[in-house]
Chain A
Amino acid sequence: DAGVTQSPTHLIKTRGQQVTLRCSPKSGHDTVSWYQQALGQGPQFIFQYYEEEERQRGNFPDRFSGHQFPNYSSELNVNALLLGDSALYLCASSLVAGRVYGYTFGSGTRLTVV
């Protein structure tokens, strides 16, 4: 049973560029959430997608946007990259009732902005 798959695993970008990160949820899961984890910190919620709609958004600027496809996979897009966007980006999938059943995380995409 495949878990959450994220690609790419590592990425280096230059300031001002744009980046797209991808996530395939665990089989049977229909909800995808994205988190940013800075070095030495706990993950911070970016947003969550369900039924191809953004359900909730954390305290992140509009440079961060996302999409969910009919097969439940998701993309995270970040425009106009800043050095401070360097972090591990984690995708988590769940059933809608994730607050009860928990969330499955991928291994993340390590983004470095230079």
Chain B
Amino acid sequence: GDSVTQMEGPVTLSEEAFLTINCTYTATGYPSLFWYVQYPGEGLQLLLKATKADDKGSNKGFEATYRKETTSFHLEKGSVQVSDSAVYFCALSDPSNTGKLIFGQGTTLQVKP
């Protein structure tokens, strides 16, 4: 079945460091791919998305490129801030088009001043 695998956390970085969180997926068809962020005690917020191969999603300095050849959607940011500390979830949408999201297990990011 369809699945998403994320790098295990926690990831601890100093402020202004470069961030990469790896995400790979397995899916039949051509899913849309998403990154969601969850701050402590809150729900999920959509960070960025890509709907087809080679699309680059970007928002708030974060970027991710839909790589069909490597089935990956790695999240990157050039310079992290303390306020970026959160749990990040990679997800794909069920290609059958019913809207079901399949999530990875989440990666905790902690940014220290």
Contact = CB atoms under 8 A, between A and B. Distances in A.
Interface of A: 4, 6, 31, 33, 35, 40-45, 48, 55-56, 58, 90, 92, 94, 96-100, 102-108
Contacts of A107: 42-43
A102 B51 CA distance: 10
Contacts of B102: 45
Interface in B35-68: 36, 42-46, 49, 51
A112 to B, nearest CB: 14
Contacts, number: 72
B99 A90 contact: no
A105 B49 contact: no
Given A56-B94, A56-B100, A103-B101, 9 more contacts: A40-B106, A44-B103, A55-B98, A56-B98, A90-B43, A97-B97, A99-B99, A105-B44, A108-B43
Contact of B93 (A40, A43, A98): A98
6 closest cross-chain pairs (CB), A and B: A42-B103, A99-B93, A98-B99, A107-B43, A105-B44, A56-B98
A105 B43 contact: yes
B44 A100 contact: no
A19 to B, nearest CB: 18
Given A42-B105, A107-B43, A108-B43, A102 B34 contact: yes
A53 to B, nearest CB: 12
Contacts of A58: 100
Given A99-B32, A100-B32, A105-B36, A42 B43 contact: no
Nearest to A41: B105
Interface in B1-59: 4, 31-32, 34, 36, 42-46, 49, 51
B73 interface: no
